[in-house]
Structure 1
Amino acid sequence: MSERIREKLNILADAAKYDVSCSSSGGTRKNDNKGLGNSHASGICHTYTEDGRCVSLLKILLTNHCIYDCAFCVSRKSNDIQRAAFTVEEVVSLTINFYRRNFIEGLFLSSGIFKNADFTMERLLKVVKKLRLEERFNGYIHLKTIPGASEELIRQAGLYADRMSINLEMPTESGLKLLAPEKNHEDVKRPLGLIQNQIIQFNDEKKIIKNTPKFVPAGQSTQMVIGATPETDKDIMHTADAFYKKFSLKRVYYSGYIPISYDHRLPLIGTQPPLIRENRLYQTDWLMRFYGFHVNELLNDANPHLDIDIDPKLSWALRNLQFFPIDINVAAYRMILRIPGIGVSSAKKIMQARKFGKLRIDQLKKIGVAYNRAKHFIKCADTPYQIKDYQATQIKTFILAECQGKYSKIDVQQLILF
Structure 2
Amino acid sequence: MDFERIKEKLNILADAAKYDVSCSSSGSKRSNKNKGLGDSSGMGICHTYTEDGRCVSLLKILLTNHCIFDCAYCVTRKSNDIKRAAFKVQEVVDLTINFYRRNYIEGLFLSSGIFKNADYTMERLIAVAKKLREEENFNGYIHLKSIPGASDELMREAGLYADRLSVNIEIPTEKGLKLLAPDKDRKDFIKPMEKVKNEIIQYKSEKKLLKKVPLYAPAGQSTQMIVGATGETDAEIMYTSAHFYKNFNLKRVYYSGYIPISYDHRLPSIGTDVPLLRENRLYQTDWLMRFYGFDVRELLNREHPNLDSDIDPKLSWALRNLDQFPVDINRADMRMLLRIPGLGVKSVHKIMNARKFRKLNWENLKAIGVSLNRAKYFLICDSKNYETKDRTSAQLKSLILQQSSSKFSKLHSSQLNLFDNINALPV
* TM-score, structure 1 normalization: 0.90
2: CA distance between counterparts of 1:258 and 1:16?
Answer: 14
Matches within 5 A, 1:85-100: 85-100=86-101
Kindly state the Cα deviation for residue 394 of structure 1 after the two structures are TM-superposed: 1.1
Query: How far did residue 385 of structure 1 move?
Result: 3.8
2:254 match? 253
Instruction: Determine helix, strand or coil for the equivalent of 1:143.
Output: strand
Equivalent residue for 1:285?
286
SS of 1:127's equivalent? helix
Higher RCO (C-alpha under 8 Å, 6+ residues apart): 2
SS at match of 2:356: helix
Q: Aligned partners of 2:361 and 2:184: how far apart in 1?
A: 57
Is the 1:196–1:248 contact (alpha carbons within 8 Å) kept by the matching residues of 2?
Answer: yes
Partner of 1:360: 361
The answer to whether the 8 Å contact 1:67/1:114 transfers is: yes
Q: Is the 8 A contact 1:361 1:383 kept in 2?
A: no
Report deviation, 1:271: 4.2
CA distance in 2, matches of 1:298, 1:389: 24
Identity of paired residues, percent? Answer: 71
- Distance of 1:398 and 1:388 partners within structure 2: 13
Partners of 2:369 and 2:190 in 1: how far apart?
41
**Residue 336 of structure 1 contacts residue 342 of structure 1 at CA under 8 Å; is this kept in 2?**
yes
Distance 1:391 1:49 in 2: 40
Three-state SS of the structure 2 residue aligned to 1:389 is coil
Shift of 1:185: 1.7
Distance verdict in 2 for CA 1:120–1:235, change over 3 Å: same
2:48–2:55: 8 Å Cα contact kept in structure 1? yes
- Counterpart of 1:195, as a letter, is V
| Whole-angstrom CA distance in 1 between matches of 2:272 and 2:285 | 25
- Any conservation in 1 of the 2:47–2:56 contact (CA below 8 Å)? yes
Q: Which residue of 1 aligns with 2:56?
A: 55
Residue type at the aligned position of 1:317: A
Q: Which moved more, 1:54-63 or 1:108-117?
A: 54-63
> 2:299 touches 2:317 (CA, 8 Å); kept in 1?
yes
1:184, distance to aligned residue in structure 2 (A):
2.0
Uncovered stretches (5+) of structure 2, i.e. residues with no partner: 26-44, 410-427
| 2:8 paired residue number | 7
Match of 2:389 in 1: 388
Residue 175 of structure 2 is matched in structure 1 by 174
Specify the alignment match of 2:110 in structure 1.
Answer: 109
CA displacement, residues 161-201 of structure 1 (integer Å, 9 cap, x when unaligned) = 00000000000000000000011221111111100100010
1:302/1:243 Cα in 2 relative to 1: closer, same or farther (>3 Å)?
same
The size of the alignment, in residue pairs, is 389
| Matched ranges for 1:264-275 at <5 A | 264-272=265-273, 274-275=275-276
Are 1:202 and 2:212 an aligned pair? Answer: no
Q: Which residue of structure 1 aligns with residue 424 of structure 2?
A: none
Q: What secondary structure does 1:159 align onto?
A: helix
For the residue of structure 1 that corresponds to 2:224, the secondary structure is strand
Q: Which amino acid aligns with 1:402?
A: Q
Select between 7-16 and 378-387 the one with higher mean Cα deviation. 378-387
| Contact in 1 for aligned 2:144/2:162 (Cα 8 Å) | yes
Map of 2:30 onto structure 1: none
Match of 2:344 in 1: 343
One-letter amino acid of the counterpart of residue 363, structure 2: D
Other-structure match for 2:140: 139
Give the CA deviation at 1:388: 2.4
**Comparing 271-280 and 343-352, the one that deviates more:** 271-280
Q: Give secondary structure in 2 for the equivalent of 1:207.
A: helix
Judged with a 3 Å threshold, the aligned counterparts in structure 2 of structure 1 residues 21 and 328 are, in CA distance, closer, same or farther, namely same
User: Per-residue deviation at 1:205?
Assistant: 0.5
Q: Are the aligned partners of 2:376 and 2:386 in contact in 1 as well (CA < 8 Å)?
A: no
Contact map agreement 2:377 2:389 (CA 8 A) in 1: no
Distance of 1:293 and 1:48 partners within structure 2: 26
Alignment TM-score, normalising by the size of structure 2? 0.88
Question: Post-superposition shift, 1:404?
Answer: 1.1
1:310 paired with 2:305, answer: no
Q: CA deviation at 1:368?
A: 1.7
Residue 238 of structure 2 is matched in structure 1 by: 237
1:76 to partner: Cα distance: 0.2
Q: Partners in 2 of 1:385 and 1:272 — Cα distance?
A: 39
Q: Is the 8 A contact 2:378 2:389 kept in 1?
A: no
Cα contact 2:72–2:181 (8 A) shared by 1: yes
Match for residue 76 of structure 1? Answer: 77
Q: Which residue of 1 aligns with 2:213?
A: 212
Three-state SS of the structure 1 residue aligned to 2:396 is: helix
Q: Distance in 2 between matches of 1:164 and 1:48?
A: 21
Give the root-mean-square deviation of aligned CA atoms. 1.8
**CA distance in structure 1 between the partners assigned to 2:384 and 2:263 by the alignment:** 57
Secondary structure at 2:119 match in 1: helix
Change (3 A) 1:187 1:407: closer
Structure 1 counterpart of 2:88, one-letter code? T
2: CA distance between counterparts of 1:407 and 1:273?
A: 22
Q: Which amino acid aligns with 2:349?
A: K
Q: For structure 1, which runs of at least 5 residues remain unmatched after alignment?
A: 25-43, 409-418
- DSSP 3-state at the match of 1:235: helix
- Change in CA separation of 1:56 and 1:85 when aligned onto 2, cut-off 3 Å: same
Supply the distance in 2 between the matched residues of 1:164 and 1:387 (Cα, whole angstroms): 50
CA apart distance, 1:382? 1.6
